[in-house]
Structure 1
Amino acid sequence: MRLSFDVAPDSCLSYASGKHASGTRWRLALINLVWSFWIVAAPWLSGTPWRDWLLPTLLSYVVFLGLYFRAQSVSVRKLFPYVLAIGALGFLLSPLNFGGMVYEIYACVFAGFAFRNPRVGVLAMLLILAAYVLEVWWLNWSWPNIASVVLWALAVGGMNLAYRAKGHSDARLRLSHDEVRRLAATAERERIGRDLHDLLGHTLSLITLKLELSRKLFDRDPGAARMEVEEAEKVARLALAEVRSAVSGIRSADLAAELASARLLLASSQIHLDYDRPPGDLPNDVECGLSLVLREAATNIARHSGASVASIRIVRDHDVVRLLIADNGGGGIDSEGNGIVGMRERLRALGGSLAIESPCGNGCRMTVSAPVPVLAGIGRAPVSPPVPDAVITAPLAHGNTA
């Protein structure tokens, strides 16, 4: 079944299904229609004659389906008229069919998404239910039935209010994360500009002066002119070496920065990260490789683990450094995708290794090891405290390919 409604970015479907594909979103909407069977089941179970309620119920249900799917797809800012229309169907059908209560519950479901202010949403639900209670009280319905409808409507509507509030909180956290990255990139560009100015400003000025001098000496003292050109060449080669060194430093990733970025990334997925401070004496190539491996591991935790807590322990030994990465998700890595394969290749290039323990349902623990060259005359590097056996373990991919 293909539905032709355009889905607004801030629709109920978008809030409920996140980044799922459009087809999956509509399947979720269809699943939520299961509860509408009570529109038919309620009068049938109560023994009400079919001729009294069947035709108006079918007609109302056709109208309800149109309102329901449209309410799922429009912007929540335009949702309130659909809340009123679905609630009105319940008012019109209830004198003929006790199952009209279902329309009131669906009205409260959508009311939970219709207002940015949760208090206004609660007030709208209370007004809808108050009008409904007055109607069914006038129809002499039993108070237990009335109370059950009110409680169900408030419970489901309240959950949707909380769900939308959580969505706004997550969006603000993602924006904060993006702003931190933007500011970090701006600061890095400014640093690169200062470094290049410091490296090349004086050097290029010196080369220019020596070349001008050699041009002036070219006719009257060729030997001196040749000497100036040779000195300009030496200065240019020195500048080239400095630029290459600076570019190498720019390209390398910083482990401390990646840990901070991982904390923000996981926080945006409601995952608390506990991590150690990285050692400051790692060679550039080792630190860059470990940083990229850490970046991929944090991405996998955020996307696949379903965890609430993660930890990164850094153990620095005499000639090896280890990252112990864990989370408390569902475990069960059943295959290694491009992410884990890429991590293994990076570590292999450093002479390191990657070990993963991921029993299904018990979390996963990743051990990243890389050798660190030991300089002659330097004593044993300080060793970080061992990671206790009780450290939280969890999956980097919850039954998924990383």
Structure 2
Amino acid sequence: MRRQAKVMSGESAAMERDESQESQKLERVLLEKRWKERRARRFFRYISLTYTLFFLIDPILSHRRDAWIALAIAYPIFLLSFVVAAETRGRTRWIAYTVLFAVGYVYMPFNSSASGLFVYPVAMLPFILKKPRKALVAMGAQVSGMFLEMAIFGLNRWAVCVGVFFVVVITLTNLYYAEQERSNAKLKLANEEIEHLATVAERERIARDLHDLLGHTLTVIALKSELAGKLITSDPNAAASEIAEIQQTSRKALAEVREAVLGYRSQGLSAEVDRARKALATADIKLICDGLPNELPIAEETVLCLAVRESVTNIMRHSEATEVWMQFRFRDGRLHVTVADNGKGGVKEEGSGLRGMRERVEALGGRLSIQSEVGTQLTIDLPQGAATA
């Protein structure tokens, strides 16, 4: 009994360890994706500063010393305020925004080519203000202020109108992207809530299944053990018969638990492919699947589920692919599975995940091969056995 309990405990621990490792891998992939997105936003944010080269037009054409002095004073203040507004949060950020707006209004009369100063603060506001209406009000106030300043100081009408055009276009464009980001964030929260509820429901199902599976069996074992203990002195033959039945019942229970554990590790190949499709979609990768089997033996289905999971994780982490193809074919009494992508390829050595996949496939009498010259193609060849297409 102790040995059987240790086996059951070991299988349960292995299942939890595999699930934990897969969860950690997916979390690392998502973190890497978010970090790349942040780096991309930061890159484009600072590359937009190249447009400040237009601020030099007026000082160069006017040949006035005071124009260069005004630029030397205003530009460092603008640059510092821009960086602070982009990299900080809370009160400090709003102070930086106020300075950005003020620099635009103060410096514009000295340099008509610097109307772009008004673009930078309103371009970032849609991503900070939660309500689009506030960003539109800020844009309207900015445009009104620009026209008012043009009327008061007699500024170049063409330069001001160009600035107004870019303020309106960039603000509206960023409003669209900001709303899209918020919608994606809400969708992500909703998906996380659904996953949490599904996890809770799955735990409750496992608890019910284990109760139904082991409750009766363990009760029988306990009663027969008690009876054997009473009979061991008065009727040794009857006690031996009871002990034999206990061994038979415990072996049957162990087999049922093993089958249940395999079922818990995989909810089916179809469900695993659906999860793969959703995971790849988060990385903007399209999955095309063909010939998915309707039914497979538990052992083969579990191995293929783990193989699909490991392949998708590797594709998301390393491949830089945009499309993935999965194909399942029964041919000559064997099941042939292909997972291919159009990424950069270049797999030179197998990591622990691929080695574990190969060991599981070979344990079922199958073969696994990898080609990675152009993209990466993983091929699994398993004996068909009791599988049906």
The TM tier, using the shorter chain, reads 0.7 to 0.9
Question: 2:335 aligns to what SS in structure 1?
Answer: strand
- Judged with a 3 Å threshold, the aligned counterparts in structure 2 of structure 1 residues 28 and 147 are, in CA distance, closer, same or farther, namely closer
- What is the one-letter code of the residue matched to 2:52? S
- Contact kept in structure 2, 1:256 and 1:277, CA below 8 Å: no
**Which residue, 344, 358, 380 being the options, matches 1:332?**
344
Q: How does 1:284-363 map to 2 (within 5 A)?
A: 284-303=298-317, 311-325=325-339, 331-336=343-348, 338=351, 341-342=354-355, 345=358, 349=362, 351-354=366-369, 356=371, 359=374
Q: Which residue of 2 aligns with 1:372?
A: 383
Q: Which residue of 2 aligns with 1:45?
A: 60
Q: Which residue of 2 aligns with 1:213?
A: 227
Question: 1:95 aligns to what SS in structure 2?
Answer: helix
- What is the one-letter code of the residue matched to 1:64? F
- Judged with a 3 Å threshold, the aligned counterparts in structure 2 of structure 1 residues 205 and 77 are, in CA distance, closer, same or farther, namely farther
234-243 or 218-227, which deviates more: 218-227
Structure 2 unaligned blocks of 5 or more: 1-32
Q: Which residue of 2 aligns with 1:14?
A: none
- Contact kept in structure 2, 1:322 and 1:370, CA below 8 Å: yes
- Contact kept in structure 2, 1:76 and 1:115, CA below 8 Å: no
**Which residue, 32, 47, 61 being the options, matches 2:75?**
61
Give, in whole Å, the separation in 2 of the partners of 1:277 and 1:80: 57
Compare the two structures and name the one with the higher helix fraction.
Answer: 2
Q: Percent identity?
A: 29
Q: Which residue of 2 aligns with 1:397?
A: none
Is 2:215 the partner of 1:201? Answer: yes
Structure 1 unaligned blocks of 5 or more: 1-16, 383-402
CA shift, 1:71, in A, is 0.9
Q: Which residue of 1 aligns with 2:47?
A: 31
- Contact kept in structure 2, 1:286 and 1:370, CA below 8 Å: no
TM-score by length of 1: 0.74
- Contact kept in structure 1, 2:115 and 2:159, CA below 8 Å: no
251-260 or 122-131, which deviates more: 251-260
Q: Which residue of 1 aligns with 2:100?
A: 86
- Judged with a 3 Å threshold, the aligned counterparts in structure 2 of structure 1 residues 354 and 325 are, in CA distance, closer, same or farther, namely same
CA deviations over 1:229-258 (Å, ceiling 9, x no partner): 332233223322322332233334631121
CA shift, 1:325, in A, is 4.5
- Contact kept in structure 2, 1:318 and 1:374, CA below 8 Å: no
Q: How does 1:74-113 map to 2 (within 5 A)?
A: 74-75=88-89, 79-113=93-127
Q: Which residue of 1 aligns with 2:13?
A: none
- Contact kept in structure 2, 1:67 and 1:82, CA below 8 Å: yes
CA shift, 1:48, in A, is 4.2
- Judged with a 3 Å threshold, the aligned counterparts in structure 2 of structure 1 residues 344 and 184 are, in CA distance, closer, same or farther, namely same
- Contact kept in structure 1, 2:109 and 2:155, CA below 8 Å: no
Number of aligned pairs?
A: 354
Question: 1:141 aligns to what SS in structure 2?
Answer: coil
Q: Which residue of 2 aligns with 1:156?
A: 170
- What is the one-letter code of the residue matched to 1:135? E
